[in-house]
Chains A and B, each alone.
Chain A
Amino acid sequence: MRLYDIVALVTPDLADEDAQKVTSEYRKLLTDGGGEIIKDEPWGRRRLAYTILRKKEAYYHYFQVSAEPALIAETERRMKLSDQVIRHLAVRADLELKRAAKMTARLQEKAARRPPRPPSPMPASTPGEAPTMAEKGEAS
């Protein structure tokens, strides 16, 4: 099982409910194929940054799915064939997320290790107080 991000853009020619019907079709396909939908967010009708098939808007819908590669290939194939879905994107998310988690863990570990910092640049204002410490600081 792998984690995927899928975004589908549905034609603005449809009414709200019809667009939802189209997305629910894909939801069904994903769940029936053995995938587990983790996030399911309608982003609503959005302006496109550039025209696609002479359309300036589209209904965006976002899924985050944990599924086998074959299932994703199948949904992508259907989206490609569909006239209602004008654009789609399906990318793997788990690799990046795992790496990011690892990096943040490492950063935290580093931060936890750092605080007991030795006072290396000794201020020379108090020479009489602790000469041995100052000498040590200079030597190291």
Chain B
Amino acid sequence: MSPAPRGGTRSATASRDAKPGGRKKFFVRRRKVCKFCAEKLEYVDWKDIKLLQGFIPERGKILPRRISGTCALHQRKLQTAIKRARSIALLPYATD
């Protein structure tokens, strides 16, 4: 029972996203996926600097969810991980 209606809604949203009509330029925006969900990394390790560095732009700030596409749960974990890494100078608080 359940799979058919779910499939239906999905196709509906897809058709809404891809508006063929109208002369406006439009981009086929790739849907962002949470990195941790995709790779099934449940534990965000604050010792893994290479991983965390991917979420730190040049200025040293934490990359916002709206850009990285991380889900709310993992963004929270990531946030604490980055803050811990910062406290022992593995990552910078700020750079310029």
B85 to chain A, nearest CB (A): 8
With A100-B43, A104-B40, A121-B7 as known contacts, state yes or no: A50 contacts B93, CB within 8 Å: yes
In the complex, which residues 34-55 of chain B have their Cβ closer than 8 Å to any Cβ of chain A? 40, 42-43, 46-47
A58 at the interface (CB under 8 A from B): yes
Cross-chain pair count, CB within 8 angstroms: 52
Contact in complex: B84, A91 (CB < 8 Å)? yes
**Tally of chain A residues near chain B (CB < 8 A):** 29
With A96-B43, A104-B42 as known contacts, state yes or no: A120 contacts B7, CB within 8 Å: yes
Contacts of A91 in B (CB 8 A): 46, 84
In the complex, which residues 51-96 of chain B have their Cβ closer than 8 Å to any Cβ of chain A? 77, 84, 86-93
Interface size class of B (residues with CB under 8 A): 10 to 19
A103 at the interface (CB under 8 A from B): yes
Contact in complex: A52, B43 (CB < 8 Å)? no
A133 at the interface (CB under 8 A from B): no
Contacts of B12 in A (CB 8 A): none
Q: With CB as the reference atom, state the residue of chain B lying closest to A104.
A: B42
Contacts of A138 in B (CB 8 A): 4
Q: With CB as the reference atom, state the residue of chain B lying closest to A122.
A: B4
Contact in complex: A103, B42 (CB < 8 Å)? yes
Chain B residues packing against A (C-beta within 8 Å): 1, 3-4, 7, 40, 42-43, 46-47, 77, 84, 86-93
